[in-house]
């Protein structure tokens, strides 16, 4: 590892010309040394700054007062009032004094330009600001929520969505996003499952990599890419009881095996920043966890970017009970490894005193400042502070026809067909009158989902609009709301039933409001809210063909709906082109190919339920389903309603001929996949492995690969995967990862529950 070679230089220690000359000579030599190292060190190449840029950083640090240094470690949030974006006047003055490093939630080119001008025209050292924003699933063109995108199993499409998001955001002044969220989650009561990739570590790690690459590209020289931020570090997706901000309690083995790898994937992909999580692990909140932020993230993983807290997370160390006041909270967080304090002002208020008391050092402060300045140099802000405020690009690069067409395609890729009895879907071309019913049918406000950046719901296509766009005058499309999302009032059901009886076919749009998932949106009961089940009962009892379209930000517990509905299409919250993309599926213009990446429970009491569980000493036995003294429920199967990897198609696929051939430490696993239906379709072929006997217990199966293939009707393809011994490795009690020789099972299939298998030894 190439360490920083500069000795810290106190900002006010040298005043004579002799000392200044010595510093200049020293820094020039140091810059030359770094330039040479840049040519030979992969780690330094990853930083993507030159020796002259490193010299510039050190020159700046040498000129900065203590207050200006701490200002670089301070992030304040912008607001919004009736006249547009606004900023606390005190914070504006701090910007003018060079005592703010970054701004959160600023938007519009004029406003961001004005704030940047305060920093680079009025401050003493003219250090530019970084502007961050929650660009989670699009900026102005809004794509399906991340959990929906994950259901596409299309890594290239996910990466492209982030490229478009970065292109749009960077045109209007944003150069840093608080994404990707890569928290593995097994509890759908937690509302923020909508922002992640689901329950699987292997898949989640690859999606994390794709998203970082999409945001950051190969650098920022084109002005169309922005800094990514891996969050929430760490294990934020496993709060006790699924309640947001709650504690996390797990074994070190579970932490290493299931929850840490996606963050590591982000670091390996070059993520520029990492955000601390609100939760505690082992009694220590992440924001004050030295082992997590310094020993693991920086020393073991080699992370070279900067660490930012979540919103006021340092202040909240007092409520956690590990700090007696904000001063001690600042001390804990800074010594743990935090570089940038989001909105809390604890560094600005207390680091000078902590330095005077020798509870933090100037070396630490200088190193944190280096990380922030390095990011600003990477972004090119010192060369052109306004390079991300591009009016021309704002006119040409935002909500383009190409971006909207891609968004529509991604909507249809993200939809998952959960049920389709009697080929209820697609809608028959013989339908003359189509009833669209339900509280989500024409709800433009709900289509974007949560974390919608600058997406405008007025520009969204609702389901009703998408259907009318598709049908034109060839089909009579009639609409009735039936009830509101959370209604307890049943008076609208009668009109909905009357409309259904008069139609040839019914589309029933049900689900959550966008506010029911996301941050601070945990639910203790995740069935359909309000009286929507009653509405479904009444409409389906008419006997008309009914296809349910679900809008939601999490897996729902919909056993009752599954029992009564002929067809169910999961669509999540699809964003700007939701209605058009969903309609493409409903009418068969696109064959559904989505597969869920988070299991749907049968009921809330079954949570958490996930595919890669471990057997107990008393696992249920299929041959004795009524055996009492095994690990099972009395009133419900152990299995989920819809398992991880599940999703139907308008065609059908059959798996056969699986083989597992070992050659040295390489394993080639192959199987035949046949399209046995009457139309072409895409199938996501999934590979799972089981380590039958280990030194510690192992899951019943683990995802190790997938391939998404277009298979023509009547066609059979042979699909193969190659693994190495390293792919079979797992973490042991010493928290080291290695594999053990022995017997294994390979599984290939269309979901985690529907597979064919072959044994092998290695």
Active-site residue list: 310
> Residue 394 and residue 171: Cα distance in Å, rounded?
5
CB 286 within 8 A of CB 189: no
Distances (CA, A) of 110 to 85, 117, 137, 175, 299: 10, 10, 24, 15, 41
> Residue 100 and residue 13: Cα distance in Å, rounded?
24
Report cis status (omega within 30 of 0) of the bond before 426: yes
Number of Cβ within a 10 Å radius of residue 488: 9
Instruction: Say which DSSP state 82 is in.
Output: T
Report residue 208 as tokens: 């994390």
The separation between CA 648 and the C-alpha centre of its own chain, rounded to angstroms, equals 24
**Rounded (5°) CA angle 699-700-703:** 80
Provide DSSP, 106-123: --SHHHHHHHHHIIIIIS
Identify which of 281, 274, 288, 283 has the alpha carbon closest to the alpha carbon of residue 237: 281
> Residue 426 and residue 416: Cα distance in Å, rounded?
13
Residue 618: partners with Cβ closer than 8 Å, 6 or more residues away = 629, 630, 631
Helix intervals (H) in 484-596: 493-502, 532-540, 559-564, 578-586
Q: Quick one: CA torsion of 621, 624, 627, 630, rounded to 10 degrees?
A: 0
Report residue 1 as tokens: 């590892």
């Amino acid at each position: 590892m190439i360490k920083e070679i500069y000795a810290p230089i106190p900002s006010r220690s040298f005043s004579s010309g002799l000392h200044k000359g010595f510093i200049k000579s020293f820094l020039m030599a140091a810059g030359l040394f770094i330039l040479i190292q840049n040519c030979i060190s992969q780690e330094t190449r990853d930083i993507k700054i030159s020796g002259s840029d490193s010299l510039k950083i050190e020159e700046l640090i040498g000129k900065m007062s203590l207050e200006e240094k701490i200002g670089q470690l301070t992030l304040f949030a912008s607001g919004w009032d009736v006249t547009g974006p606004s900023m606390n006047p005190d914070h504006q003055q701090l910007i003018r004094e060079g005592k703010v490093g970054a701004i959160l939630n600023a938007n519009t080119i004029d406003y961001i330009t004005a704030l940047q001008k305060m920093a680079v025209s009025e401050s003493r050292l003219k250090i530019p600001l970084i502007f961050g924003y929650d660009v989670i699933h699009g900026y102005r063109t809004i794509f399906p929520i991340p959990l929906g995108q994950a259901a596409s199993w299309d890594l290239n499409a996910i990466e492209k969505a982030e490229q478009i998001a970065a292109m749009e955001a960077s045109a209007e002044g944003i150069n840093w996003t608080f994404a990707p969220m890569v928290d593995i989650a097994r509890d759908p009561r937690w509302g923020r499952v909508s922002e992640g990739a689901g329950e699987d570590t292997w898949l989640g790690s690859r999606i994390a990599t794709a998203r970082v690459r999409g945001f950051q590209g190969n650098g920022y020289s084109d002005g169309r890419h922005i800094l990514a931020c891996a969050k929430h570090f760490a294990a934020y997706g496993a709060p006790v009881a699924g309640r947001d901000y709650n504690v996390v309690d797990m074994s070190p083995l579970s932490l290493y095996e299931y929850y840490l790898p996606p963050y590591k994937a982000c670091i390996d992909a070059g993520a520029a920043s990492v955000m601390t999580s609100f939760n505690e692990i082992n009694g220590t909140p992440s924001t004050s966890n030295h082992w997590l932020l310094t020993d693991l993230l920086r020393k073991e993983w080699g992370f070279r970017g900067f660490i930012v807290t979540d919103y006021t997370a340092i202040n909240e160390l007092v409520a956690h009970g590990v700090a007696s006041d904000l001063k001690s909270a600042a001390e804990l967080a800074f010594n743990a490894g935090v570089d940038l304090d989001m909105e809390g002002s604890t560094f600005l208020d207390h680091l000078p005193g902590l330095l005077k008391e020798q509870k933090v050092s100037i070396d630490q402060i200088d190193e944190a400042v280096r990380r922030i300045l390095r990011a600003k140099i990477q972004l090119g802000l010192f060369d052109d502070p306004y390079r991300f405020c591009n009016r021309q690009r704002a006119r040409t690069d935002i909500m383009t026809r190409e971006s909207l067409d891609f968004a529509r395609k991604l909507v249809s890729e993200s939809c998952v067909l959960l049920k389709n009895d009697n080929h209820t879907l697609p809608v028959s071309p013989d339908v003359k009158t189509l009833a669209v019913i339900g509280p989500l049918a024409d709800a433009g406000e709900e289509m974007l989902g949560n974390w919608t950046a600058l997406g405008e719901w007025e520009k969204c296509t609702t389901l009703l609009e998408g259907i009318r766009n598709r049908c034109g005058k060839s089909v009579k499309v009639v609409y009735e709301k039936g009830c509101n999302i959370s209604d307890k009032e049943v008076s609208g059901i009668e009109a909905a039933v009357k409309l259904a009886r008069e139609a040839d076919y019914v589309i029933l749009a049900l689900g959550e409001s966008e506010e029911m998932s996301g941050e601070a949106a945990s639910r203790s009961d995740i069935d359909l809210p309000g009286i929507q089940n009653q509405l479904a009962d009444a409409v389906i009892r008419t006997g008309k063909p009914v296809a349910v379209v679900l809008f939601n930000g999490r897996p729902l517990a919909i056993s009752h709906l599954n029992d009564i509905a002929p067809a169910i299409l999961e669509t999540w919250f699809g964003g700007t082109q939701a209605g058009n993309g969903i309609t493409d599926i409903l009418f068969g213009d696109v064959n559904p190919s989505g597969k869920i990446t988070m299991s749907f429970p049968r009921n809330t009491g079954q949570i958490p339920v996930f595919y890669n569980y471990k057997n107990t000493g008393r696992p249920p036995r299929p041959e004795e389903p009524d055996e009492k003294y095994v690990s099972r429920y009395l009133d419900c199967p152990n299995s989920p309603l819809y398992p991880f990897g599940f999703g139907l198609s308008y065609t059908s696929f059959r798996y056969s001929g699986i083989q597992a051939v070992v050659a040295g430490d390489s394993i080639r696993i192959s199987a035949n996949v046949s399209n046995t239906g009457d139309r072409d379709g895409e199938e996501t072929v999934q590979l799972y492995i089981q380590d039958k006997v280990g030194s510690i217990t192992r899951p019943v199966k683990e995802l190790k690969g997938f391939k998404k293939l277009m298979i023509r009707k009547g066609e059979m393809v042979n699909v193969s995967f190659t693994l190495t011994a390293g792919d079979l490795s797992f973490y042991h009690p010493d928290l080291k990862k290695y594999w053990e020789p022995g017997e294994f099972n390979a599984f290939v299939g269309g979901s985690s529950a529907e597979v064919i298998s072959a044994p092998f030894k290695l």
